[in-house]
Amino acid sequence: MVNFLEQVLQHPQYYRQFNCGKSLITAFNCPMEARLMKNRFSDMWTEYNYLFYVIDGRKIWHTAKGSYDIQKDSCVFVRKGGFILEQLMDIGFCVMLFFIPDDFICDTLQTRSRPLLKYEEHFEPVMLLESSETLKGFFLSMSSYFSATKDPDPSLLELKFKELVLNIADNTVNEGLLSYFCSLLQEPQAILLRRVMDDNFCYNLKLEVYAELSNRSLSTFKRDFAKLFLCTPGKWLLEKRLHHAQHLISNQRKTVSEAAFESGFESPSHFSRAFKNRFGKGPAAIMK
């Protein structure tokens, strides 16, 4: 899978970038065509949450929890993890993009004079935010930096990132995102680990990535995983992916190739062998 953040960093000709420390990057991208997308579907992941405002265009984010059709004038927050990005080949995509790590969000929220209210824990991988006048004004203020010839000072960029987090935290309409913010501040590590696995099992990610998404070293991840799930990550992932693929074939009439891709298998042949070993029949037989 492609690391979304690294892809942005490696293409400064398409993304004007402002760096704030090692972990915060803003980018502005408005190519006339999708130069970076060679295929209609690209499987990606990112270790940071990201927020973007769509100036023009349309793309579709596919996740384990559902699909999200993102269009012009949308303000969107996407949680860290995997996703499949669908490029509509005849439509460009122009966005203002912010990568925001968990610890920066937590540090900023803890400076609020009023603590966040407790919200019911329910949040999606992709959350559309209310485009309030305050938020629109923020993006308008940022656009002037992209049109300037000189990069803003990193300390000013850090203040702008804090302003963005505090602005969206102050809008009670965005209950899903506020619930996620509360989870970052208060959630036990065991719950975080379970959510990371449930949200990302269907992506072909390395164990090191699952460990990073759950804020653990690889050795700590394996140890905590065994305590929580009573098996190894490899066995758990294979079982989850096979049952997910079975559902896609039986209930959504997906092809073998589609089910393999959408369940995180490296190839249709690998998927077919594993499927037959687990269920006694190959996926093609299940389709019939």
3-state secondary structure the chain: CEEHHHHHHCCCCCCEEEEECCCEEEEEECCCCCCCCCCCEEEEEECCEEEEEEEEEEEEEEECCEEEEEECCCEEEECCEEEEEEECCCCCEEEEEEEECHHHHHHHHCCCCCCCCCCCCCCCCEEEECCCHHHHHHHHHHHHHHHCCCCCCHHHHHHHHHHHHHHHHCCCCCHHHHHHHHHHHHCCHHHHHHHHHHHHCCCCCCHHHHHHHCCCCHHHHHHHHHHHHCCCHHHHHHHHHHHHHHHHHHHHCCCHHHHHHHCCCCCHHHHHHHHHHHHCCCHHHHHC
CB 177 within 8 Å of CB 186 = no
Q: What is the pTM of this model?
A: 0.88
d(CA 18, CA 154): 8
Higher pLDDT, 82 or 89: 82
The more confidently predicted of residues 268 and 91 is 268
| Cβ neighbours around 4 below 10 Å, total | 22
Token pair for residue 110? 């803890």
Hey, what amino acid is at 279? F
pLDDT of residue 33: 44
Compute how many other C-beta atoms are within 10 angstroms of the C-beta atom of residue 186.
11
pLDDT class of 69 with cuts at 50, 70, 90: very high
What pLDDT sits at residue 129?
Answer: 94
What are the pLDDT digits (tens) for 36-64?
Answer: 556 778 889 999 999 999 888 889 999 88
Domains and CATH numbers, the chain: 2-186 (2.60.120.280), 189-288 (1.10.10.60)
pLDDT tens string 189-202:
888 999 999 999 99
Mean pLDDT of 23-28: 71
The position carrying tokens 């269907």 is: 202
